[in-house]
A and B are shown apart, each in its own frame.
Chain A
Amino acid sequence: MDILDKLTILAAAAKYDASCASSGSNRQNTPNGLGNASEAPLGICHSWAADGRCISLLKLLFTNYCIHDCVYCINRRSNDIPRAAFTVNELVDLTINFYRRNYIEGLFLSSGVIKSPDYTMELLLQVIKRLRIEHNFNGYIHVKVIPGASRELVKEVGCYADRLSVNIELPSEQGLKKLAPDKRKEDILVPMAYIGNQIQAFQDERKVLRSAPLFAPAGQSTQMIVGASPESDFQILNMVEKLYQKVRLRRVYYSAYIPVNPNNPLLPTGITPPLKRENRLYQADWLLRFYKFRADEIVNSDHPFLDTELDPKTSWALRNFHHFPMDINRVDYEHLLRIPGVGLQSAQRIVAARRFSALKLTDLPKFGVVLKRARYFITCNGQYLEKTDNDIYIRQKLLAESTTHHEGSQLQQLTLF
């Protein structure tokens, strides 16, 4: 088969993986080497595809042949689709030549499972070893860990990759049993915990010895499909919070379920991908990671689903009006972060600027504060922009504004870096 055909098939087969980050690695270029994953702490996007998602890494499957029969997956064994497999050489050549032309930040390598998890993992390992050792490649490499692969292999892969990820696939064990009958929960969680411990161990070693080897310096991430099984956002975010705290994941990706295998009785039918819900989950995820929110503040058993109409922070603020209004000149940084329309940067700028003089409400747009949302929640020296505690009124106002602003773009996706 022609390399062009392989690329088309195996890129199309890999596109449902949401992860695109090329950030967080500290792998520097070596003398006479190619690539530098450390230059871009925030990652670099090289292009944007027609679905508005960024292209940072060359995202490919080694093969889309698979022994598993996961109900939601396009590459399941029982699907009648064109199949292909790269050779190690072909993949290495593509990566190097794309990288040299600055098309990509590196490689994102995943695969269908052929023969056995170990056999497949071994193939992926060959590719990245070849890149690192023979080609002195120091670009970013993200490898998907094949569930069920042996520890030794996972450890070796971690020594060459920048980021590892094990897909959690579905947000509950029941979902997994029903939709991915060949995958066991232990095959996912055990390697995840193992990788987490290894990363920690290698980091500790590096603190003592600067030249200690790297192990997945950009950490570990995971992905789950949203909307294929009935879990609530409350369940999802609670689980995610634990993953961040206990396994210290860098990122969790949410992927709106796209019905790639129609007519399966186990799956919801006739739905459009829940993109808005996915968007709100990402926003909630940001609140967990950067805004010091707890999962049970964002959703709880009374409100198990995120509000699709309003962003999670505004929705939290409306339910907790007793915290507001906040005085821009007085409340500390942590509290500023809780105000809808105030982001990390604007909060920092406010804190820096008010050391010089008291701020006025009209100063706020300079700091990047979105007054459209913040106006109901703030005061300045006793002044209000709009004094109300009527949450229904605020909701209506915000909705009216958001429809005139983003007409027809209800499906807007969040920028991920």
Chain B
Amino acid sequence: MRIYIYDGSFEGLLTAIKQCLTYNGEVSEITTPERYQPDLFSDGMEIKTISEEARKFYRQLEGLSKEITATISYAFLSEQSGVEMLIYEYIKTVFRYGVEVITNMNHPAIYKLYYLRRKVLFEIGRYHGFVRFQQLPNGIFYSPIEPDYNIVQFLAPHFSARFADQRWMIHDIRRGTGIFYDLTHCVYLSWVDRNHPLIRLVLEHPEENALPANIMELKYQRLWKDYFKAIAIQERHNTKVQRQHMPRRYWKHLIEDVEV
């Protein structure tokens, strides 16, 4: 039995899985150095990420079906513990039964990953609605978010297509990652590099209270709050349904006052 240890990146995982598939014994876990706990019966094996190999493997899977690569990419970003093994089982199942098996929701390896992917996609869909931009004094539209899953990069196509004529940034403040659109391209940012010129653009305004002293911005926020109140029909008051669709954890970064 063997525990595979990879560096936590998607490419690292693909490299590790590629090797798992050629291993004859039982793979007991695929994990990262931080989470790795040696156990008596398995030997730990550290995997060095090989980018080219990972990419080649990805293209091979994509060649079978884009559904496969989409499913494993989305599921990976759920960051749920044990997702590595689920992805491994999924790929193993595909190789064993052929690509058609991915429509078989009766197969445990298939449907577990499918539902994980659904959850991630659902949150991406939610954030298409829940992102709230505030215009900073330097003109940039800035939105802090705190999603459950690591989805910020998947927001890029949607927002680039629609806000093509304004500069904007979406910032996952919990993970310290973000995307910035500069009127032509969307770039991925990591807050590890605090001196990055794009990050400085926003860091001038501390992200916790990024609220600018911008009268126009405050005016539209005020109007939106007001609209939010005025549009509710009192005779149909139903905060239970409201909360089902808009759980409390999302309220913090919405402009509207949900509670009143």
Contacts and interface: CB of A to CB of B under 8 A. Distances in A.
Given A29-B164, A34-B163, A50 B232 contact: yes
Contact of B104 (A54, A101, A353): A353
B242 interface: yes
B232 to A, nearest CB: 4
Interface in B233-260: 233-242, 245-246, 254-256, 260
A294 interface: no
B111 interface: yes
A115 interface: no
Contacts of A44: 125, 128-129
Contacts of B106: 353, 356-357, 359, 363, 366-367
Interface string A237-249: 0000000000000
Interface string B109-143: 00100000000000001001111111100000101
Contacts of B131: 102
B238 A51 contact: yes
Interface string A355-381: 111010001001100000000000000
Interface stretch (A35-43, A119-127, A217-225): A35-43
Interface in B211-250: 220, 222-224, 226-242, 245-246
Given A52-B240, A102-B133, A45 B226 contact: no
A47 B227 CA distance: 11
Contacts of B245: 45, 48, 52, 54, 415
A55 interface: yes
Contacts of A35: 162
A139 B165 CA distance: 13
A68 interface: no
Interface residues on chain A, size class: 35 or more
B226 A4 contact: yes
B105 A353 contact: yes
Contacts of A409: 240
B174 interface: no
A201 interface: no
B158 interface: yes
A100 B105 contact: no
A74 B41 CA distance: 75
B164 A33 contact: yes
B105 A8 contact: no
Interface string B167-182: 0000000000000000
Interface stretch (A9-17, A177-185, A392-400): A9-17
Nearest to A12: B230
B19 interface: no
A52 B163 contact: no
Contact of A94 (B101, B134, B223, B240): B223
Interface string B146-166: 000000000000110111111
A363 B107 CA distance: 10
B254 to A, nearest CB: 7
A47 B162 contact: no
A350 to B, nearest CB: 8
A53 B236 contact: yes
B230 A50 contact: no
B103 interface: yes
Contacts of B235: 258, 272-273
A49 interface: yes
Given A16-B233, A103-B224, A366 B242 contact: no
Most central of A49, A136, A411 by chain B CB within 10 Å: A49
A29 B162 contact: yes
Contacts of A11: 226-227, 230-231
A48 B165 contact: no
Nearest to B220: A97
Contacts of B133: 100-102
A320 interface: no
B141 A8 contact: no
B90 to A, nearest CB: 15
A413 interface: yes
Contact of B232 (A15, A34, A412): A15
A139 B161 CA distance: 11
Contacts of A54: 245
A374 B108 CA distance: 22
Nearest to A256: B236
Contacts of A53: 232-233, 236
B135 A101 contact: yes
Contacts of A48: 241-242, 245-246
Contact of A100 (B103, B166, B241): B166
A283 to B, nearest CB: 15
A189 to B, nearest CB: 28
B118 to A, nearest CB: 10
Contact of A413 (B103, B161, B236, B256): B236
A153 to B, nearest CB: 27
A51 B237 contact: yes
A98 interface: yes
Contacts of A359: 106
A97 B237 CA distance: 28
A102 B132 contact: yes
Contact of B241 (A8, A52, A353): A52
Given A39-B161, A349-B105, A413 B238 contact: yes
Most central of B134, B143, B231, B260 by chain A CB within 10 Å: B231
Contacts of B141: 100-101
A59 interface: yes
Contacts of A28: 161
A4 B159 CA distance: 28
A402 B242 CA distance: 20
Closest 8 CB pairs of A and B: A52-B241, A52-B238, A49-B232, A11-B230, A36-B162, A51-B236, A352-B103, A50-B232
Given A29-B162, A94-B223, 19 more contacts: A3-B223, A7-B227, A8-B227, A11-B227, A11-B230, A15-B230, A34-B163, A34-B166, A39-B161, A46-B129, A49-B232, A52-B236, A52-B240, A52-B241, A101-B134, A101-B141, A136-B165, A258-B236, A412-B240
5 contacts: A49-B231, A51-B232, A352-B104, A353-B105, A356-B101
